[in-house]
Structures are given as structure tokens and as C-alpha cells.
Amino acid sequence: MTTLSKEKKLSDFRIDYELNKLSKSGVDKNPFSEFKLWFDLVLKANVIEPNAMTIATANKDGFPSARVVLLKEFNESGFTFFTNYLSRKGREISENPNATLLFWWREFERQVRIEGKIEKISRKDSEEYFNLRPLKSRYGALASNQSAVVESRKVLEKRFLTLEKQFGENPPIPKNWGGYKLIPNKFEFWQGRRDRLHDRICYEKADNDWKIYRLQP
């Protein structure tokens, strides 16, 4: 068994959650509205990177992978993030558009899991967001062939400097970079509770409405 020290084992680490509770009757009938309530609380609490989310994808053979990205917009049409279309996640999305988002907010003992299908947003919307990014971030996206093997960091830095000299204050959006939107068909709101009897309230798309039910912890 892996241990952190002679005194404490990984199996010894546990917290009894007791900040809040969650009931089927107490949630909004619209999962997007419920998510906004939770997200607004996180924003007001000045949590570091409140929009950080794990996105899990899988390739055509069903082999999964996950990583943390930043949510950049959400509304009732879906949840938007940006990346290189030729990155590992981009390639997997092209093979299998089914994906899951996961938000974990330790300060509130809460997590939200959102399942759905991913599609690209319009090129116009991708360009608008790209041009709002800090200049150095735009060059980072232009310089990096995300997920491709590179000989060294110096190679990336040299490419970055070369592009800066070439384009100055107006770098173009990379052809293979842009936004994706996850369109949900299922939400799960999780609230940590004492004795591991956590609250789990789910919304599942049913025709043009949402079915709401509770899951055992």
C-alpha cells in the first residue's frame, strides 16, 4: 500500500462533509438555472479558477482520456471551451462526440457532472474569442501544435519568437484552433454529506423536458 509517511497512510485521509444538503424538491426544474445558482455562489466566493473543469473524452475504440480545461461560456445551448482541433481531445471528439464535463468545488463540497455531445461552434465566434485573448496567449496557440511530440522547449520558444516578429500585434487565428460546445443530455449535482451519504440529484433529457431523480450515494 502506498504511504505518505511512516505516520500517515493515504487511507487515513478523509473529510466528513457537512456544509450543505440537496433535495429533489429544492432544486430548480431547469438544470441550467440550477447550475447558474451554483456557479454564481462560486464566483462570489472568489474561488481560484472557478471555471476549471475536467473534460473526459474517448476515441472510436472507447479508450478514455481526461484533462482540465477552462469553461468560457455557458447558456441553455451548452457549455463552451476552446482548444486545438488536432490535439488529442480534438481528435477524439471528431471520432466520438460523446463527452462528460466535471466541475469540483472543494470550498462548497460540491461537484457537477454534465454529459452530452460536442460540436464545433461557428468560425466567427471562435475568431471573436481568439481576438479577445491576451496577445501572448494568442501566440501560444499559434506556436503550439498541441499534443504533438516536440524535441525541446527551446524549439517552441524559438517558434514563438519567430511568429511574434512576423505578425506583431495581430497574430492570425490558427486554422486548427477554435471552440467546442457540449450540448447536455444529463446533469448530476452532487453535494457532500456526513457519513458518505452524499446527495446526488440528476436531470435527464426526456423529449423537450427534464426528468429529475435522486441517486443513491
CA distance 12 to 194: 17
- pLDDT over 70 for what percent of the chain? 97
The torsion angle over the Cα atoms of residues 42, 43, 47 and 49, rounded to 10 degrees, is: 110
Is residue 91 among the annotated active site residues? no
Per DSSP, 103 falls in state: E
Per-residue confidence (pLDDT) for residue 3, from 0 to 100: 52
Residue 153 C-beta-side C-alpha neighbours within 13 Å: 0
CA distance 166 to 139: 11
Task: Tell me the three cell numbers of residue 19.
Answer: 456544509
CA distance 55 to 115: 10
Active-site residue (options: 67, 106, 194, 196): 196
Q: Which fold has domain 17-131+176-215?
A: Pnp Oxidase; Chain A (2.30.110)
pLDDT in tens, 7-54: 788 777 777 777 899 999 999 999 999 999 999 999 999 999 999 999
Per-residue confidence (pLDDT) for residue 4, from 0 to 100: 56
pLDDT at 148 over 60: yes
H helices of 105-193, in order, are: 123-130, 135-143, 153-167
- Sequence ranges of the domains in the chain: 17-131+176-215, 133-172
- pLDDT over 90 for what percent of the chain? 88
Per-residue confidence (pLDDT) for residue 84, from 0 to 100: 96
pLDDT in tens, 171-214: 999 999 999 999 999 999 999 999 999 999 999 999 889 999 99
**How confident is the model over 117-139, as a mean pLDDT?**
98
